[in-house]
Amino acid sequence: MLGKLSSAAVETSQHGVYIAGIIQRARSLGVAIPAFNVPYLPMVEPLIQAVVDQDSFALVEVARLEWIKFKSQSLKAVADEFARWCKPEHVRLHLDHVPAIDEDQRVVDYLPIFQEALKLGYESVMFDGSRLPLQQNIQATRGVVDMAHTAGVPVEAELGAILGHESGDLPSYDELFASGRGFTDVDEARLFAQETGCDWLSVAIGNIHGAIAGGHKDQTKVPARLDLNRLELLAQATHIPLVLHGGSGIQKQYVLDAMKHGIAKINVGTEIRQPYEIVLKETSNLAAAQQAVYERVSWVLRDFLGISGIHARLAL
């Protein structure tokens, strides 16, 4: 198949193989690769510089909602900004949440988004069919997998309901956790992994997204915890790297334990978005806001995840 692809597509394919290998290597080492969301383009430069200075590795990612509800502008704008500062030995570009049905319950024409991302050189992609019934999620995910794998690009999928992006109020976190509302079902995950062929699976085990609604997006996230027993069962059932969305705010020990039980990628958004927004609002100083991103990314890598200096161990 690769012999029939354009030279640009072959290059993307090679990059996709590299990222897939990095995530697998992280899983074998019992660590998680952070994927940092960029709702504002000026966050890209300090984010990358922090990863380089910490001699670590990370994905820079953008979700559909970040060019619709924030100011990352577009897939192309993020790809262009990433290319300006990219250090490929330390960072790669990932397309985060592209849903079949978005947080406002609107149907999304998602296939053209993936087609554009692959042409632009995104090296891994994430399809979110979690608001679909199981069989529809499997069918839709399989379609994205077939498209992306033709270009040699790995696909992350989602099963279970990771709440937080929806408009309106949710029940208390304690109530959500106790009820297991939206948690990923182990038997469904086994079937899903087998039938979709996805490379990584985002699971719901107590993690929640940071709010994006205007009245809630500035609030401190609850200190979430994780159902580690369920996570272990999911890892055994799927045999693929698992992903933790809503990484900001999860209690540190839960994250460290999760990395020992199959979590190989962790998404970080609120943790770096809020410092950027707060400093910019208070000072109107872009350089100061960028410095806040740099410092927070450094903290995540060095003090929270403990993966400073890991670059050489991840090298393939």
Residues in contact with 130: Cβ distance below 8 Å, sequence separation at least 6, in sequence order: 99, 137, 158, 159, 160, 161, 162, 204
Q: 94 has which bridge partners?
A: 61, 124
Domain spanning 2-314: CATH 3.40.50.920: no
Q: What is d(CA 157, CA 128) in angstroms, rounded to the nearest whole number?
A: 6
Q: What pLDDT sits at residue 212?
A: 38
Bridge partners (DSSP) listed for residue 156:
126, 200
Please give the residue that has the higher pLDDT: either 34 or 164: 34
* 8 A C-beta contact, residue 227 and residue 186: no
**What are 80-97's pLDDT values in tens digits?**
999 999 999 999 999 999
* pLDDT tens per residue, range 194-231: 999 999 999 999 877 654 344 445 555 566 779 999 99
Q: Which of 244, 238, 241, 212 is nearest to 226 (CA)?
A: 244
Quick check: 265 pLDDT over 70? yes
Burial level of 58, CB count in 10 A (0-12/13-18/19+)?
buried
- Angle between helical axes of 111-120 and 7-29 (0-180°, round to 10): 100
Q: What is d(CA 46, CA 272) in angstroms, rounded to the nearest whole number? A: 11
Q: pLDDT tier at 5 (50, 70, 90 boundaries)?
A: very low
pLDDT for residue 40 is more than 70: yes
Instruction: Please tell me the total number of residues recorded for the chain in this structure.
Output: 316
Q: 284 to each of 263, 274, 279, 289, how far by Cα in Å?
A: 38, 14, 7, 8
Structure confidence by residue, pLDDT tens digits, 266-300: 999 999 999 999 999 999 999 999 999 999 999 99
pTM of the model: 0.88
As a whole number of angstroms, the distance between CA 261 and CA 278 comes to 35
Give 11's pLDDT tier (boundaries 50, 70, 90): low
Every domain of the chain and the residues it spans: 2-314
Mean pLDDT taken over the chain: 89
Which residue(s) pair with 71 in the sheet?
A: 40
Mean per-residue pLDDT for 229-238?
Answer: 97
